[in-house]
């Protein structure tokens, strides 16, 4: 596996690739990332991963400074998973000057749920992904980019970005990878204490219970949704969590559902100092 740090070196290394497959990450890789890398392998003529902790998508009080930087370990894992090329730019490489041009998603999608609790998050994500896409895919006939379904709203925002800017990129979703007890794999699980780790699966269980209740209420869902969500929120809060949202949405656009819509339940909650998110299509 070749490792490059600058856009110029990345483009040189990809000069003879017509259709790269690309897995963007912020590093601190776990089996969820590696499953994406393995899924990506047959989807392009070159498999590229990136590792870049993107300051633009963190709020000032969030964990940008403490986010684990584990480049050497990550590179070993990527090599073993079959990655051909790792792009690991420094901030100076990717943002040599302040990034004043930004990609702002539609507020109807970008300012709800994660966007409501982490204002500016999706602008930061879209801006860096657009820049990474420009670095990897410029001049290519076609490209494929993979994102995990655990970040359900992020995946949807990025699909819309690709569609609206007519980028020659196919976005492919990777299924959420879970630990044996059902906890969705996430880099931030590493922040959990032993006791918190044992408790953490309760977010997935709360979403499952909310999903069951929503399906049972199917026809009355528009009227009953708020009450079901409030009950789920209170149940998690009673266990010591600080939930941001637990909600039933329609899959098409993450707006409140009407009867008959295909549904997804999504949740975000803080356990101690760790904020976890998860979702479940029902
Ligand atoms: O999901 C992530 O790890 C990040 O949001 C991404 C897509 C790599 C952009 O920084």
**What tokens does 116 get?**
């409501």
Within 8 A by CB and 6+ apart from 162, the residues are 145, 169, 171
CA 24 – ligand 1 centroid, Å: 6
Instruction: Report whether residue 114 contacts ligand 1, using a CB cutoff of 6 Å.
Output: no
Strand order in the sheet with 143-148: 2-4, 85-87, 46-51, 20-25, 143-148, 169-174
- Give 160-191 pLDDT, tens digit per residue: 999 999 999 999 999 999 999 999 999 999 99
H helix or E strand, kind and range, residue 143: strand 143-148
**Catalytic status, residue 33:** yes
Take atom 3 of ligand 1 and give the residue whose Cα is closest: 25
Distance (Å) of CA 60 to CA 56, 63, 105: 10, 8, 20
Strands 46-51 and 143-148: unpaired
Within 8 A by CB and 6+ apart from 218, the residues are 259
Three-class secondary structure of residue 202 per DSSP? helix
pLDDT band for position 218 (50/70/90)?
A: confident
Take atom 5 of ligand 1 and give the residue whose Cα is closest: 125
pLDDT band for position 209 (50/70/90)?
A: very high
Q: Which numbered atom of ligand 1 lies nearest the CA of 151?
A: 1
Asked which of 20-24, 247-251, 258-262 is least confident by mean pLDDT, the reply is: 258-262
Residue 235 · residue 203 · CB < 8 Å: no
Domain boundaries, the chain: 2-174, 187-281
| Gap between the Cα atoms of 238 and 176, Å rounded | 27
CA 94 – ligand 1 centroid, Å: 14
Instruction: Report whether residue 127 contacts ligand 1, using a CB cutoff of 6 Å.
Output: no
Q: Which numbered atom of ligand 1 lies nearest the CA of 158?
A: 7
CA 26 – ligand 1 centroid, Å: 6
- Give 82-117 pLDDT, tens digit per residue: 999 999 999 999 999 999 999 999 999 999 999 999
Query: Does CATH number 3.40.50.620 belong to domain 2-174?
Result: yes
- Above pLDDT 70, what percent of the chain? 100
Residue 220: pLDDT over 90 = no
The CATH number for 187-281, chosen from 1.10.760.10, 3.40.190.10, 3.30.1300.10, 3.30.70.120, is 3.30.1300.10
Instruction: Report whether residue 26 contacts ligand 1, using a CB cutoff of 6 Å.
Output: yes
Residue 219: pLDDT over 90 = no
**What tokens does 128 get?**
């860096």
Within 8 A by CB and 6+ apart from 255, the residues are 108, 249
Instruction: Report whether residue 269 contacts ligand 1, using a CB cutoff of 6 Å.
Output: no
């Amino acid at each position: 596996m070749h490792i490059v740090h600058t856009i110029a070196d990345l483009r040189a290394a990809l000069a003879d690739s017509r259709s790269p497959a690309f897995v963007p990450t912020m590093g601190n890789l776990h089996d969820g990332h590696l499953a994406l890398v393995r899924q990506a392998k047959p989807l392009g003529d070159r498999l590229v991963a990136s590792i870049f902790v993107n300051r633009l998508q963190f709020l000032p009080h969030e964990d940008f400074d403490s986010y684990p930087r584990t480049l050497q370990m990550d590179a070993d894992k990527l090599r073993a998973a079959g990655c051909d090329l790792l792009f690991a730019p420094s901030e100076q490489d990717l943002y040599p000057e302040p990034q004043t041009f930004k990609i702002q998603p539609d507020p109807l999608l970008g300012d709800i749920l994660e966007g409501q609790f982490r204002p500016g998050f999706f602008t930061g994500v879209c801006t860096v992904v657009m820049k990474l896409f420009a670095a990897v895919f410029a001049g290519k006939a076609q490209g494929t980019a993979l994102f995990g379904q655990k970040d359900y709203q992020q995946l949807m925002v990025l699909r819309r970005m690709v569609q609206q800017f007519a980028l020659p990129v196919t976005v492919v979703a990777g299924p959420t990878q879970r630990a044996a007890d059902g906890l969705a794999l996430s880099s931030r699980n590493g922040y959990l204490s032993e006791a918190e780790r044992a408790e953490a699966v309760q977010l997935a269980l709360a979403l499952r219970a909310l999903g069951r209740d929503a399906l049972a209420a199917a026809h009355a869902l528009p009227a009953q949704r708020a009450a079901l969500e409030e009950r789920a929120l209170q149940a998690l809060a009673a266990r010591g969590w600080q939930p941001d949202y637990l909600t039933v949405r329609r899959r098409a656009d993450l707006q409140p559902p009407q009867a008959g819509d295909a549904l997804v339940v999504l949740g975000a909650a803080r356990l101690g100092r760790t904020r976890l998110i998860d979702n479940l299509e029902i």
